[in-house]
Amino acid sequence: MSDTNKSYEELEQFTQKVLQKMKEDKVPTTPEYYKIYFQKTLLEEQNCEFRKYVATINIKEEKEEAEKILDYEAKIDAISKLNKHILKNIHSTYKKNSYLVKFIKVSQKQSQSLATPQAINLFFKKLTSTIEHIHKSMQKDMEVIKELYSRTVAVLKQLEAGKIFDTKFKVYKKEYFLSKLKKELDNVKKYHFQSYLMVIRLNKETIEKLQNPINIEKANRFFSNILQNKFRKDDIIGYLDSGIFGVIFSNLNPTEVQKVALKFSALLSSASMLVNDNTVELKPVIAIEEIDGDCYTKIVTKSIKTLEEAYNNNLPYVTPS
């Protein structure tokens, strides 16, 4: 057996020991308590080589997180520098434009005193030369501004792509939510606890009564607020597109999941919106699937399929049997 496999096997055994210790002490096996027991209570009892192995794993995770932060800050710094250059060139263009306006006003006054064809000719040569010079200089500034603007937009697009929050609904974006779901599935396999994915949307009757996309968006924002206010701090909430939200319930048993579905269904069904002087109840459709198996994307696909079946059959919620 290689050293890597041996270390991994020791880690697996250690995780089981942590869970057993928590059960003996009658401590809830939540991720936060697990972390405390893992790091503070039992890790100190292990040999030096094992502690080094665990530290290596932690360092790797911290390094990945630090790299993400550095990349984000580098992009912010790049935008800041680009904007400073843009402002500098805008200021330069403004000054040249102001000078040009003053120059033309002065030239107008001077033109009134011109008496000979020779004086008029000299005047217009100077006027034309000055205007052309300023125009060329301003054109250079504008070309620089255009280039800087394009570069700023490119960096902003990169930042937008890397954002983890949906600005409209104030919950995690789909890509980040799915990365969290993948991590939850990995933890379920490693630590042998139960977790669930809840997907939720407005039911068909409510959609029809809301009548238009603007009202539907308002109702979905209300959904998002309820999700954020009513669930545990460690429950991960995301927007999965097409009016569907997702919530990851870490370390819950089937009975607790049933209660969650009932509670949230009742909570939303008691809420309403005024549409064209008519009160519309915001009834939800809910589907919950256990987070298990080999592929997190299959869990999402299955849960959304179950949700759509409930939606089409006008069922309030579907939970694992």
pLDDT attached to residue 9: 66
List CB contacts of 184: < 8 A, sequence separation 6 or more: 195, 236, 248, 250, 291, 296
Q: What is the CA radius of gyration of the chain?
A: 32
Least confident of 42-46, 157-161, 232-236, 308-312: 42-46
Domain boundary at 121, 137, 162, which?
A: 162
Least confident of 28-42, 146-160, 304-318: 28-42
Residue 244 pLDDT exceeds 90: yes
DSSP annotation string for 197-258: EEEEEE-HHHHHHH-SHHHHHHHHHHHHHHHHHHS-TTSEEEE-STT-EEEEE-S--HHHHH
Partnered with residue 200 across adjacent β-strands are 245, 286
Alpha carbons 319 and 321: distance in angstroms, whole number: 6
280 lies in a domain?
yes
33 lies in a domain?
no
Contact 223, 284 (CB under 8 A): yes
pLDDT attached to residue 299: 92
- The verdict on 202 and 280 lying in the same domain is yes
Average pLDDT in the chain: 80
Q: Which pLDDT band holds residue 63 (cuts at 50, 70, 90)?
A: low
Domain boundary at 162, 188, 203, which?
A: 162
pLDDT attached to residue 11: 65
- The verdict on 181 and 154 lying in the same domain is no
- The verdict on 155 and 172 lying in the same domain is no
Domain boundary at 162, 186, 203, which?
A: 162
Q: Can you read off the two tokens belonging to residue 133?
A: 């010079």
pLDDT attached to residue 67: 65
User: What's 262's domain CATH number?
Assistant: 3.30.70.270
Domain count of the chain? 2
- The verdict on 179 and 235 lying in the same domain is yes
pTM for the predicted model, two decimal places: 0.62
pLDDT (mean) for 219-243? 82
Residue 51 pLDDT exceeds 90: no
Dihedral sign (CA 298, 303, 304, 306): positive
The tens digit of pLDDT for each residue in 100-132 reads 888 888 888 888 887 788 888 888 888 888 889
4 lies in a domain?
no
Q: Which pLDDT band holds residue 52 (cuts at 50, 70, 90)?
A: low
CA neighbours closer than 13 Å in the CB half-sphere of residue 16: 6
- The verdict on 183 and 304 lying in the same domain is yes
Q: What's the per-residue H, E or C state across 78-110? A: HHHHHHHHHHHHHHHHHHHHHHHHHHHHHHHHH
Q: Give the CA distances from residue 65 to residues 61, 68, 196, 237, 285, in Å, rounded to whole numbers and listed in that order.
A: 6, 5, 26, 20, 36
Contact 159, 72 (CB under 8 A): yes
- The verdict on 144 and 170 lying in the same domain is no
- The verdict on 152 and 178 lying in the same domain is no
Q: Can you read off the two tokens belonging to residue 293?
A: 């198996």
The tens digit of pLDDT for each residue in 192-216 reads 778 899 999 998 888 888 888 898 8
What is the extent of the structural domain holding 99?
Answer: 70-162
Alpha carbons 132 and 1: distance in angstroms, whole number: 80
pLDDT attached to residue 48: 62
Share of the chain above pLDDT 70, in %: 82
Share of the chain above pLDDT 90, in %: 12
